[in-house]
Each structure stands twice: as structure tokens, then as C-alpha cells.
Copies of this chain bind each other. A is one copy, B any other.
Amino acid sequence: MPSRFAARGSDREIETGARFMPEFDENGLISCIVTNADDGEVLMLAHMNEDALVRTIETGDAWFWSRTHQQLWRKGESSGNTLTIQEMRVDCDQDVILIKVRISGGGVACHTGARSCFYRRMPVKRPADNSIALTFVEDLKR
């Protein structure tokens, strides 16, 4: 199936050019980092296939590919927490997307009820073994 997007060019075209030529991985997916447009907090990492990326660009709402359910997924369709894109960026290699969003509904991005999926802190500068304890920085509401 031909892509809707431009074919990949040289490294120079990809990194320093002004043409969007995204790379999808061996599963047809591209990673997408989601941040809160108001304060920059990282909310989640999700994946888009080509259809999800097309719908996201065209509608301004975040669409993803659910690897768990193997289906296209408009984020917030069931929870009401849709993500409206304020700004969209691509990285140097054009294999990662960054979207800065406003969250509708309850204002939470994570299915656990947390605002951000990153609600637990890890310790650093200690032995990395099987007893690493996490600290909650946000309470889960469910």
C-alpha cells in the first residue's frame, strides 16, 4: 500500500529538510510523546500507525493505534478525555512525534485515573536489582 506521506529521503533531507517524511517501524508504528500544552508535563507515550497519524493531522485530535486491542483509537472516545492538539512536532530522525495537547473532560490522560501515566518515581544511584521500590507522586483516583 503506498504511503500517504513523502518517501524517506537522504539523512540530510530527513534531518535538516522542511519536508515531513515519517518513518514507521517494522510493525508500521511511530512513537508519539504527549505533553500538557499548559505546563509541559509529560502525560503518556503512545503509538500511531499511518491511519492514526493521518487522522490526527487532519482532525487536530489525537488518534493512536492500540497495540493491546489491535485497533484504531481516538484517545478519550470512551472516557471523554480527548486530546486536542495545540502543537505538533517531529524529531531529527522523523521517527518520533511530539504533541502538546489540552485534555477535555476530567483532565486525566492515564486509564488509571492519574493525570499523567508517569505517577511513580524511581530511585537513582543505588543498586539496580529486583527490589527497586517506586514512590507515588500522584494518587490514583480509581
Q: Are B45 and A132 in contact (CB under 8 A)?
A: no
Residues of B within 8 A of A111 (CB): 92
Number of interface residues of A (CB under 8 A): 64
A10 on the interface (CB 8 Å rule)? Answer: no
Smallest Cβ-Cβ distance to A109: which chain B residue: B92
How far, in whole Å, are A123 and B39 apart by their CA atoms in the complex? 21
Copies per complex of this chain: 2
Say what secondary structure dominates the interface of chain A. Answer: loop
Q: List 13 A-B contacts (CB under 8 A).
A: A5-B130, A6-B131, A18-B135, A31-B45, A33-B45, A35-B40, A57-B124, A57-B125, A89-B137, A92-B110, A92-B117, A92-B119, A96-B117
Q: What residues of B have a CB within 8 angstroms of the CB of A112 in the complex?
A: 15-16, 92
Contact A132 B57 (CB under 8 A): yes
Q: Determine whether the beta carbon of A128 is less than 8 Å from that of B5.
A: yes
A124/B45 in contact, CB under 8 A = no
For A118, list chain B residues within 8 Å (CB). Answer: 89-91, 96, 98
Measured between beta carbons, the chain B residues less than 8 angstroms from A114 are 92
